[in-house]
């Protein structure tokens, strides 16, 4: 178990650079299974989820080199269609190997995936999508076995706007010699950029409606080099960290065009920041006003930035409302923050009130999952005194060099393993 020891009460100041998007890089690694030659991927974040996805890639028979955020993937010797259970069951993104393995072997065995415990995230949408194309599926206690020899349909209607299911079926459709229409897709920025990469590799994907894509696949996909976009969730988290600690500074590689709904809420609450090309400058904010957010699929308010907003609410004068409409177990962190002095009421599994201003006090506290873990880190930075955050390894899943980055902004933070 990793522990972060933080001496808070110090405003963050300086410049921080945002890393590559975790949620795109994980899918590009799986995409490499469909390629017949090496691919070089730049701006890959050095985080534990990426390392786990690479371990799966290697156990399938792939080879890779990863240094200085540049990843070289070679799938030429992949000979297995079975995703390692020990790794795969701990990592949500392991599910997206399903599409690429089906294109390569016409079959795949995937363990039921893991990830953060934030509510029910069944893989039914994935399985139903492939069933619509003619797949045969067998479920055991540990694995999903799927085979798809011949397509029996050319239209897929996703049962929900699932990010990973959209990516899974796109990865499959892009590497088969057929034309498939996919409806009710998620359209997160990471998906849109992944589509650009698939098209560069030889697929022909066109957006026929806002959430519908027509895919003309190609068996011999090839892409020599690509770059991962900036991580919008990390960017939003550092913006909250500056604001919540009363700090000021600059965030480089800030994808402001992808964070419109998030930035709009902060602006309406009175937060002070200025967007400049690919950077964002944070200033001193005066009196903050309460707000209401409701999470929704993109371009709605991102669920992964819901928990950090509770800290902005703690500084606002009045009652703020958080509606978590994507997951049913994502408000648990509020009970942890109440131990630090947050004045909040969880109405039900989807709604909470936060009354501000609340002064947070240091304590020993546990990270519940990746995103709430970062929220607790920021809370500890706000509280004057020393806090200890347990299970900090969960935060490593999505935030690159968090100790180094925060230390560079003046934070007093030490990691103990």
- Indicate the pairing of strand 3-8 with strand 412-416: antiparallel
Hey, what are 362's tokens? 């240091």
* Contact in structure between 369 and 324 (CB atoms under 8 Å): no
Rounded to whole angstroms, the Cα distance separating 205 from 312 reads 40
Q: What is the DSSP letter of 82?
A: B
Contact 71, 5 (CB under 8 A): no
Tell me the three state secondary structure of residue 249. strand
- Residues 6 or more apart whose CB falls under 8 angstroms from that of 22 comprise 45, 47, 49, 50, 231, 233, 234, 397, 398
State whether the Cα torsion 95-98-100-101 is positive or negative: positive
> Would residue 185 show up in a list of annotated catalytic residues for this protein?
no
Indicate which residue of 89, 116, 185, 226 is catalytic. Answer: 116
How far, in Å, CA of 59 to CA of 63, rounded? Answer: 9
DSSP 290-312: P-EEEB-STTSB-GGGHHHHHHH
Integer angstrom CA distances of residue 93 from 23, 115, 187, 408: 8, 8, 17, 31
Which residues, at least 6 apart from 158, have a Cβ–Cβ distance to it below 8 Å?
125, 128, 129, 165, 166, 169, 182, 183, 184, 185
Q: Which residues in 58-79 are b (16+ Cβ under 10 Å) and which e?
A: ebbebebeeeebebebbbeebe
Neighbour-count burial for 373-400, b at 16+ CB within 10 Å, e otherwise: bbbbbbbbbbbeebbbbbbbbbbbbbbb
Strands 39-42, 364-366: pairing is unpaired
For the chain, state the CA radius of gyration: 21
Closest C-alpha to 357, from 336, 382, 374, 375: 382
Q: CB neighbours (10 Å) of residue 112?
A: 17
Q: CB of 246 within 8 A of CB of 284?
A: yes
Catalytic site residues? 116
């Amino acid at each position: 178990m990793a522990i972060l020891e933080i001496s808070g009460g110090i405003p963050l100041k300086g410049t921080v650079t945002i890393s590559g998007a975790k949620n795109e890089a994980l899918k590009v690694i799986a995409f490499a299974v469909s390629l017949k030659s090496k691919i070089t991927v730049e701006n890959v974040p050095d985080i534990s989820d990426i390392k786990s996805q690479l371990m799966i890639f290697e156990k399938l028979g792939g080879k890779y080199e990863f240094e200085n955020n540049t990843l070289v993937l070679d799938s030429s010797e992949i000979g297995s269609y079975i995703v390692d259970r020990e790794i795969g069951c701990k990592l949500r993104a392991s599910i997206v190997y399903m599409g690429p393995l089906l294109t390569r072997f016409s079959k795949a065995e995937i363990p039921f995936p893991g990830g953060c415990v934030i509510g029910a995230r069944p893989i039914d949408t994935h399985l139903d999508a492939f069933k619509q194309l003619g797949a045969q599926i067998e479920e055991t206690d540990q694995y999903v076995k799927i085979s798809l020899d011949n397509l029996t349909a050319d239209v897929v209607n996703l049962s929900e706007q699932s990010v990973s299911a959209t990516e899974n079926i796109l990865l499959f459709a892009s590497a088969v010699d057929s034309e498939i229409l996919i409806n009710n897709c998620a359209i997160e920025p990471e998906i849109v950029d992944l589509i650009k990469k698939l098209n560069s590799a030889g697929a022909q994907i066109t957006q026929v409606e806002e959430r519908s894509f027509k895919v003309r696949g190609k068996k011999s996909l090839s892409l020599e080099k690509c770059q991962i976009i900036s991580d919008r969730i990390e960017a939003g988290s550092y913006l909250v960290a500056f604001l919540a600690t009363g700090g000021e500074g600059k965030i480089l590689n800030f994808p402001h065009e992808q964070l419109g709904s998030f930035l709009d809420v902060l602006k309406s609450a009175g937060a002070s920041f200025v967007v400049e090309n690919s950077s964002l400058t944070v200033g001193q904010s005066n009196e903050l006003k309460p707000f209401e957010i409701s999470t929704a699929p993109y371009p709605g308010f991102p669920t992964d930035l819901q928990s950090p907003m509770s800290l902005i609410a703690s500084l606002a004068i009045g009652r703020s409302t958080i509606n978590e409409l994507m997951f049913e177990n994502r408000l648990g962190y509020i009970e942890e923050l109440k131990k630090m002095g947050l004045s909040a009421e969880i109405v039900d599994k989807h709604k909470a009130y936060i009354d501000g201003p609340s002064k947070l006090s240091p304590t020993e506290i546990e990270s519940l999952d990746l995103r709430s873990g970062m929220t607790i880190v920021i809370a500890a930075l706000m509280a004057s005194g020393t806090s200890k955050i347990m299970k900090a390894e969960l935060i490593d899943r999505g935030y690159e060099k968090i100790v180094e980055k925060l230390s560079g902004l003046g934070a007093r933070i030490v990691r103990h393993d």
